Structure 1
Amino acid sequence: MKVIIIEDEIRTANELRSMLLAIDADIQVEAILGTVSAALDWFEHNAMPELIFSDIELGDGLSFELFKKISIDVPVIFCTAFDEYAIRAFESNSIDYLLKPVDEATLQKSVEKYLRFKEHLIAGGQRLSNMERVISQMEPPYKQTILVDYREKIIPVKLSDVGLIYSSEGAVFLQLADKRNFMVRYTLEQLELTLDPQLFFRANRQFIVNREFIDDIEYYFNRKLLITTKVESPEKIIVSRIKAQPFLKWMER
């Protein structure tokens, strides 16, 4: 069985390959690809494998982008940390998932599930239709608008207009491009789960920043980063040393 692994963490990819070979020595891992662009290039020059193992967050975007750009008519087993609703989408479409960190027993069950369905796979066009439906179901319903209470009114605020979200003295505030500031009835943790990760980044415990409102980034003490935004911030926005590289990687997407 020919498979490819789409995973940007080399250690994770190598562990997955080792476990696959331990499960079945006849499995051939044709390639390990770490980015959407690398995967696109590979598919343009190589025959389709029998099975794909794919992470969701890659070095240059989400794997959803890849599967929208090319015709995939083979099963995909995603590596995911998505909520239960996404997992149900996989199960209803006979596409399995692996919850990180992957263990060999779970991986073996996924391979066995694929083998059971292999003889019953339908024609390529319908398979592709199923794949597109699963992808659309998996894409999280990110918030586009948030409702805020202001005096005796409820005001809809477009999140694309929010330059900064921050906590202060136990409350959470939205700082808008037009200089308005609203308090919301959410925690940063609750908001983070519903915000588009392509647009918003949790810089630290106090701040979530919108990439469209980042003015510049400075190197700070002890390999930290200092963010300057186009909207007013109540304090310095400092990205920790641990988050510095993921943040810069996110900015380049």
Structure 2
Amino acid sequence: MKVVIVEDEITASENLKYLLDSIDSNIEVLTVLDSVRASIEYFSKPIEAELVFMDIHLADGISFEIFDKVRIDAPIIFTTAYDQYAIKAFKVNSVDYILKPIEEEELGNAIDKFKNMTPTKAKGNVEIDSLIELLNANKKTYKSTYLVHHRDELLPVKSDDFAYFYIDTSIVKGVTNTNKTYIIDKKLEDIESELDPAKFHRFNRQFIINKNAIANVKFYFNGKLVINVNPPFEDRIVVSKAKATEIKNWINS
């Protein structure tokens, strides 16, 4: 089977190639395209590819822009970090998808699905306009501002201005990029559901951290990680071995 990968992250494309080879050594990756522009140029000519893996966010735009310029005569499997609301749109339009970070089992299932498709269903020119409309309609909006208590007043603080949220003796506190600490009258679970998962992540039971606040990641004993943040936190922020891979993939996304 001959495939084309459209992906702008080198680590992601290398990981996908490795997984494809692990699943079936006969799969040949013809090329890796890292932008909308490069994809348009490539697909404007006849292609040998039988299957295309396509990330949604590319270096110079959204991959759906490719379909405005060229016709892709091959089925497409989108690789995406969209939340579950947006993913419903892919199912409605019979477009397959793999949620990042890609797991070998899920990738194998997607390839098996492709192999079992009838010729009439195995086509790449899906209704992209309808797909975009559904994605926009189902796209979740995230909390942009928190109203916090400060002495005898309430202050609006932008969500992106928080470096991290943590639990301190059953009280949730938010620390800003300028090292100001505010009490947040919410559960950490509620805050987690309100924030953009591309920017904030739950690292353990105690912490939610803004990706921009991560100073470095250090290896700890027994496969654990220690996360150092800015502004610095007085104690170690430890990530369990079970969650270490997930955290590294999220930081690297």
Distance in 2 separating the partners of 1:102 and 1:220: 28
- In structure 2, the residue corresponding to 1:4 is in which secondary structure? strand
Q: How many positions carry a matched residue from both structures?
A: 228
Distance change in 2, residues 1:219/1:103 (3 Å): closer
**1:14 alignment partner in structure 2:** 21
**2:58 alignment partner in structure 1:** 65
Distance in 1 separating the partners of 2:219 and 2:51: 45
- In structure 2, the residue corresponding to 1:115 is in which secondary structure? coil
Distance in 2 separating the partners of 1:65 and 1:114: 30
What is the one-letter code of the residue matched to 1:30? V
Distance change in 2, residues 1:15/1:50 (3 Å): same
Does the Cα contact within 8 Å between 1:13 and 1:32 map onto a contact in 2? no
**1:217 alignment partner in structure 2:** 216
Percent identity among equivalent residues?
Answer: 25
What does 1:104-143 correspond to in 2, within 5 Å? 107-113=111-117, 115-118=119-122, 121=125, 127=127, 129-130=129-130, 132-133=132-133, 136=136, 140-143=140-143
TM-superposed deviation, 1:207: 1.7
**1:203 alignment partner in structure 2:** 203
What does 1:1-253 correspond to in 2, within 5 Å? 2-5=2-5, 7=13, 8-9=15-16, 11-17=18-24, 29-31=28-30, 33=32, 37=34, 43=39, 46-47=42-43, 49=49, 51-54=51-54, 63-65=56-58, 68=62, 71-72=66-67, 73-74=71-72, 75-79=75-79, 84-98=84-98, 101-102=105-106, 107-113=111-117, 115-118=119-122, 121=125, 127=127, 129-130=129-130, 132-133=132-133, 136=136, 140-146=140-146, 156-177=156-177, 179-188=180-189, 190-214=190-214, 216-217=215-216, 219=218, 221-222=220-221, 224-230=225-231, 233=233, 235-240=235-240
Distance change in 2, residues 1:212/1:88 (3 Å): closer
Distance in 1 separating the partners of 2:252 and 2:106: 28
- In structure 1, the residue corresponding to 2:119 is in which secondary structure? helix
What is the one-letter code of the residue matched to 2:19? T
- In structure 1, the residue corresponding to 2:187 is in which secondary structure? coil
Distance in 1 separating the partners of 2:5 and 2:114: 14
Q: Which sections of structure 1, spanning at least 5 residues, go unmatched? A: 22-27, 57-62
What is the one-letter code of the residue matched to 2:62? K
- In structure 2, the residue corresponding to 1:116 is in which secondary structure? coil
Q: TM-score, normalised by structure 2?
A: 0.61
TM-superposed deviation, 1:252: 6.2
TM-superposed deviation, 1:165: 0.7
Distance in 1 separating the partners of 2:202 and 2:171: 16
**1:59 alignment partner in structure 2:** none
Distance in 2 separating the partners of 1:170 and 1:200: 21
TM-superposed deviation, 1:210: 1.9
**1:60 alignment partner in structure 2:** none
- In structure 2, the residue corresponding to 1:196 is in which secondary structure? coil
Deviations 1:19-53 (A, max 9, x none): xx7xxxxxx643475xx84x669737744645323
Q: TM-score, normalised by structure 1?
A: 0.61
- In structure 2, the residue corresponding to 1:184 is in which secondary structure? coil
- In structure 2, the residue corresponding to 1:13 is in which secondary structure? helix
Does the Cα contact within 8 Å between 1:97 and 1:110 map onto a contact in 2? no
TM-superposed deviation, 1:114: 7.1
